[in-house]
């Protein structure tokens, strides 16, 4: 993208001036640096040297005697003058050249110039330059306060286009319409259509919201202002609002144009202030300014406001009402075909082995965002280089999925024999239960190589196809699968370890959601007992019921999890022989593939596709 304006340049002047000043100071304060070294000696030494015939030239003024020796490099010495009437005789006796420097009295004109005019002129010049900087800063204050530092982009040359964004077809379509509106407003106004003032891109992190905005900048042949919400947050009250004002002033001058505010939630948070205690006045003022600017201009002028956020739930309702950000474009996590498309876009940037099957990778990477997928391709390329290969292979890609999901292999973590055995049984417990309960995704890989994420091993399940709905039985089976790890530990070692912490968390979350959100508990039926906030950032549950009901939910959650744990335990008990033999193989090989596992289990592979893919630690 071509950037027109860069406010940073001014600092170059300051740096230059500072350098010159320092140089001048050096010359004035340390003249010795510039002239030969002069050594100070006592008068007696001078006389001794003179007697020995070592003195070269001598010159005397009122303040000092300066003389040189007769050595090759000609060292200089100085000494204070003494009231010594003999000196001239001695000097001529020794045949030394001596003189007194001729002092021409400086004309009063020149000395006045040197001591007054030049220094004053110098300071006036600096003052001028400084004040020029200040007035450039908008007259607010010395340091460019209140100036929006939005970058202006126009028509990109090397920039991003819509073809770089994969798998977000709806979002691209909606944005293309906006771009079209800016190019051919007549086509729309003829029918009486009014351009939406603001478009809000909402979705989880890493799904390509910023990328989409950049693509709009690349495609729309109009000026594009880009600024991040956090850039409005200033140290001084009122500065954020001033920046908003300045941004819109610039936008008007350049209309038709697009203004993009990334991470708008930083300034667009709901204004309610429960603490009632000062609060964030600055943010509120900035938001108010933004709201009034959006009301102030009329859409026909052609200023289009684009914003992105992953916290739509905390935005102030005033921002999202019609007439402001009235169009909301969801940018969700990609589905299977979207993931394949994204992998293809990024695969173009690296050299791929021709046998690579990207759809297999996409299937294994369920739940990954566009940023995760881009990261996977890059990790695979790095791994290929590490292995001394010229192209990225399927194996590189498969490993990179695990790196992105579970972290790097932690080679220096050495498990004791006993621990390794427990982890092996734990993972095989998950895998066997998953295979037996049915309706669960086939096991893809089991490993007991520790990962930097802290997992000591995991079981990876990959679905044949993508699932969007889950039945109650499938969720129950999933909980049983989570319980399988600990059940195996208890069955074989008669004790339990801390290794199941993650399983317990996940199982509890699922069981609770069955009751509070999916309406799968008879006792409550179709009543929402919890509300999800923050859905794009992991999700937080907010209770929506009495504390008495809370107690019942807790009891019911325990019941569900315990029931599934018993079931897992029973399944493993019935298949103890397989549990032991497969755990032994895993212990020795550390990693076994899904096919190897199924062969060892010698159970008929269930064909009904079930659960979403995922990993169980
Ligand atoms: P967001 O702003 O939604 O958090 P970004 O737009 O910053 O996410 O995406 C980060 C990176 O992830 C992009 O630079 C791009 O490399 C990759 N990416 C994300 N989504 C997509 C997509 N749909 N198509 C291609 N690349 C994507
Ligand atoms: Mg972003
Ligand atoms: Zn586990």
Contact 201, 309 (CB under 8 A): yes
481 CB near ligand 1 (under 6 Å): no
Q: Work out the mean pLDDT of the chain and round it to a whole number.
A: 82
Spatial neighbors of 466 by CB under 8 A, at least 6 apart, are 335, 336, 363, 366, 612
Angstrom distances, CA of residue 578 to CA of 67, 418, 493, 571, 592: 104, 20, 16, 11, 15
Q: Give the pLDDT band (50/70/90) at residue 79.
A: confident
336 CB near ligand 1 (under 6 Å): no
Residue scoring higher pLDDT (293 or 94): 293
38 CB near ligand 1 (under 6 Å): no
Which residues on adjacent β-strands are paired with residue 414?
none
- The mean per-residue pLDDT over the stretch 567-585 comes to 94
pLDDT tens by residue, 142-171:
445 555 555 555 444 447 889 999 988 989
Residue 524 CA to its chain's centroid (Å): 43
Given the residues 263, 282, 284, 427, select the one marked as catalytic.
Answer: 427
Residue 264 CA to its chain's centroid (Å): 16
What is the reported pLDDT for 11? 65
Minimal-distance CA residue to ligand 1 atom 17: 371
Residue 505 alpha carbon to ligand 3 centre in Å? 10
**What's the CA gap between 301 and 248, in Å, rounded?**
12
Residue scoring higher pLDDT (99 or 386): 386
Residue 604 alpha carbon to ligand 1 centre in Å? 41
CA nearest to 96, candidates 133, 142, 47, 129 = 47
Residue 312 alpha carbon to ligand 3 centre in Å? 34
Asked if pLDDT for residue 607 goes beyond 70, the answer is no
Asked if pLDDT for residue 608 goes beyond 70, the answer is no
392 DSSP 8-state letter: B
To the query of whether residue 169 is one of the catalytic residues in this protein, the response is no
For 278: left if phi > 0, alpha if psi spans -120 to 50, otherwise beta; the answer is left
Residue 343 alpha carbon to ligand 1 centre in Å? 12
What is the reported pLDDT for 411? 67
Cα torsion at 278, 281, 283, 288 (round to 10°)?
130
Contact 303, 255 (CB under 8 A): yes
Three-class secondary structure of residue 59 per DSSP: strand
Q: What is the percent of the chain where pLDDT is above 90?
A: 29
Q: Give the pLDDT band (50/70/90) at residue 56.
A: confident
Query: Which stretch of 137-141, 294-298, 468-472 has the lowest confidence by average pLDDT?
Result: 137-141
pLDDT tens by residue, 126-137:
888 887 766 655
Backbone angles phi, psi at 339, to 5 degrees: -65, -40
Name the pairing type of β-strands 303-309 and 257-262. parallel
**What's the CA gap between 183 and 179, in Å, rounded?**
6
pLDDT tens by residue, 173-198:
989 988 888 888 888 888 888 778 88
Angstrom distances, CA of residue 400 to CA of 372, 387, 578, 590: 10, 13, 30, 18
What is the reported pLDDT for 6? 43
Contact 356, 393 (CB under 8 A): yes
Minimal-distance CA residue to ligand 1 atom 18: 370
What is the reported pLDDT for 187? 86
The angle subtended at Cα 442 by Cα 441 and Cα 443, nearest 5°, is: 115
What is the reported pLDDT for 156? 45
223 CB near ligand 1 (under 6 Å): no
The angle subtended at Cα 246 by Cα 242 and Cα 251, nearest 5°, is: 150
302 CB near ligand 1 (under 6 Å): no
What is the position in ligand 1's atom list of the atom closest to the CA of 168? 23
């Amino acid at each position: 993208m071509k950037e027109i304006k860069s406010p940073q340049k001014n600092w170059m002047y300051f740096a230059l001036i500072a350098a010159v000043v320092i140089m001048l100071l050096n010359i004035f304060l340390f003249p010795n640096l510039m002239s030969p070294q002069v050594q100070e000696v006592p008068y007696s030494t001078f006389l001794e040297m003179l007697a020995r015939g070592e003195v070269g030239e001598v010159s005397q003024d009122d303040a000092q005697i300066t003389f040189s020796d007769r050595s090759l490099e000609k060292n200089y010495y100085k000494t204070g003058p003494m009231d010594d009437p003999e000196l001239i005789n001695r000097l001529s006796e020794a045949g030394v050249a001596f003189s007194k420097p001729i002092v021409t009295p400086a004309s009063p004109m020149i000395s006045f110039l040197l001591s007054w005019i030049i220094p004053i002129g110098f300071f006036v010049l600096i003052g001028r330059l400084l004040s020029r900087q200040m007035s450039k800063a908008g007259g607010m204050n010395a340091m460019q306060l209140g100036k929006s530092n939005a970058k202006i982009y126009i028509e990109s040359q090397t920039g991003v286009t819509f073809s770089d964004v994969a798998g977000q077809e709806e979002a691209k379509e909606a944005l293309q319409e906006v771009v079209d509106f800016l190019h051919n407003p007549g086509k729309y106004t003829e029918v009486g259509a009014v351009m939406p003032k603001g478009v809000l891109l909402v979705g989880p992190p890493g799904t390509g919201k910023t990328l989409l905005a950049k693509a709009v900048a690349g495609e729309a042949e109009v000026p594009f202002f880009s600024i991040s919400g956090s850039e409005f947050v200033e140290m001084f009250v009122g500065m954020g609002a001033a920046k908003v004002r300045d941004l819109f002033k610039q936008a008007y001058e350049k209309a038709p144009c697009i203004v993009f505010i990334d991470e708008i939630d930083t300034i667009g948070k709901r204004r309610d202030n429960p603490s009632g205690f000062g609060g964030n006045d600055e943010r509120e003022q900035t938001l108010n300014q933004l709201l009034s600017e959006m009301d102030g201009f009329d859409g026909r002028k052609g200023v289009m406001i684009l914003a992105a956020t992953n916290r739509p739930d905390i935005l102030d309702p005033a921002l999202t009402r019609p007439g402001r950000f009235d169009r909301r474009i969801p940018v969700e996590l990609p589905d299977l075909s979207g993931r394949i498309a994204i992998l293809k876009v990024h695969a173009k940037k690296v050299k791929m082995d021709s046998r690579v099957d990207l759809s297999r990778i996409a299937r294994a990477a369920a739940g990954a965002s566009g940023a995760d997928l881009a990261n996977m391709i890059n990790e695979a390329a790095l791994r290929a280089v590490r292995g001394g290969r010229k192209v990225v292979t399927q194996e590189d890609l498969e490993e990179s999925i695990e790196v992105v999901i579970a972290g790097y292999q932690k080679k220096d973590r050495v498990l004791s024999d006993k621990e390794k055995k427990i982890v092996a049984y734990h993972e095989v417990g998950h895998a066997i239960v998953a295979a037996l309960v049915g309706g669960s995704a086939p096991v893809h890989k089991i490993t007991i190589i520790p990962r930097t994420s802290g997992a000591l091993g995991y079981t990876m399940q990959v679905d044949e196809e993508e699932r969007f709905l889950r039945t109650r039985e499938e969720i129950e089976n999933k909980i049983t699968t989570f319980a399988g790890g600990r059940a195996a530990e208890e069955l074989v070692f008669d004790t339990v370890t801390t290794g199941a912490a993650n399983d317990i968390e996940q199982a509890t979350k699922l069981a609770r959601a069955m009751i509070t959100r999916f309406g799968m508990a008879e006792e409550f039926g179709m009543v929402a007992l919890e509300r999800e906030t923050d859905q794009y950032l992991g999700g937080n549950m907010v209770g929506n019921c009495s504390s008495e009901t809370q107690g019942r939910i807790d009891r019911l959650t325990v019941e569900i999890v315990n029931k599934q744990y018993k079931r897992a335990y029973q399944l493993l008990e019935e298949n103890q022989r397989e549990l032991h033999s497969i755990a032994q193989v895993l212990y020795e090989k550390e990693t076994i593939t899904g096919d190897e596992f199924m062969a060892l289990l010698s159970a008929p592979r269930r064909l009904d596709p079930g659960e979403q893919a995922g990993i169980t630690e």
